[in-house]
Amino acid sequence: MNGDFVMSPRSKYQDSTECAARYRTILITGASNGLGAALAEAYAAPGVHLALVARDPARLSVIADRCREKQATVSHACLDVTDVGTLADWIDKFDRQYPLDLVIANAGVSSTLRPGEAMESWDSVRRVFDTNVYGVLATIHPAIERMRQRSSGQIALISSLGAYVGMPISPAYNGSKAAIKVYGEGLRGSLSPQGIGVTVVCPGFVKSAMSDSYPGPRPFLVSAGTAAALIKKRLERNPARIAFPFPLSLAVWFLSIVPPSVSLFLQRLFRFG
Active site residues: 173
Alpha carbon distance 192, 246 (integer Å): 26
Q: CB-based contacts of 257: which residues, under 8 Å, 6+ apart?
A: none
Alpha carbon distance 80, 17 (integer Å): 36
Burial class (CB in 10 A: 0-12, 13-18, 19+), 189: exposed
Q: Choose among 59, 66, 34: nearest CA to 50.
A: 66
- Residue 163: what are its φ and ψ, rounded to 5°? -70, -15
Q: Is 193 helix (H, G, I), strand (E, B) or coil?
A: helix
Q: Tell me how long the chain is.
A: 273
Stretch (H or E) spanning 253: helix 246-257
Alpha carbon distance 112, 131 (integer Å): 15
